[in-house]
Structure 1
């Protein structure tokens, strides 16, 4: 008897928990492209439509990145027709995609949980600054500085310090949970 399909709840959880992996994969395939968000949404739609095909116990990240690879290739073909861009052949793209998927950290969920914990330990003003910079449509530093009444340089320094605190906190959590702390 084959493996059973994941329940809707299990599938939703997997899909949500793998957004960073899928997005990172897409970015490695088309770095600097403004279309990453659109492609991610297309991948999510395909994954959602094909959720019955996913088998419990399979590698969701690999499956999702395979779907992403095809969506990226589709995007590149469309772009090459529209703009006459150079596009790698499918074999090279697939080799690069496979190598990237193999390099994806297997402990990404552990890292995400550590980051979530560390974000929750930040002060509310620091969390709001990070949200403004990285979540709300990626606001530019000038806009945030104006909204917060800071200079751009002051804001840059503050964000750098917050990222440093988060980096150390995550390292500490991973070391502690891994038995090193």
Structure 2
């Protein structure tokens, strides 16, 4: 049986106020809701769905102090669930190396790919090494900000600032050299 928004919110508020039974009832009621949410968005992978449900329940428990009692509970719940799903999909991103890619591109008439890469390398060389790496990691290699920060051994905010300033500098450079 699906619980109502009002019931879920009452259990959440009860849990926030220290009622362990309300907190337990809330977590039990959320399991089928979260399973359904993830099944609609993932094909197969029951293990992945169960992992996501558990991760989401942990996130709800650890972030419960951020819940605004005046707002709908399910909006807060599904926002957390969406972020867990996004993190999961990023972790599962599979990179497949393609051997002899340049030869294939030339054969198929995509010679521009090599010159485009040279253009990007030339543009990035005009930036500081930190900015160039941040842009390459996040915008070319597809790393998340957290992954880029970890690889460069700097903070996430430092990566964001480096990307922002680097892109701004590149835009100015491109505008000045049409």
Structure possessing the higher radius of gyration over alpha carbons? 2
**Which of the pair has the greater relative contact order for Cα pairs under 8 Å at 6+ separation?**
1
> TM tier, shorter chain?
0.3 to 0.5
TM-score, normalising length: structure 2: 0.39
TM-score by length of 1: 0.39
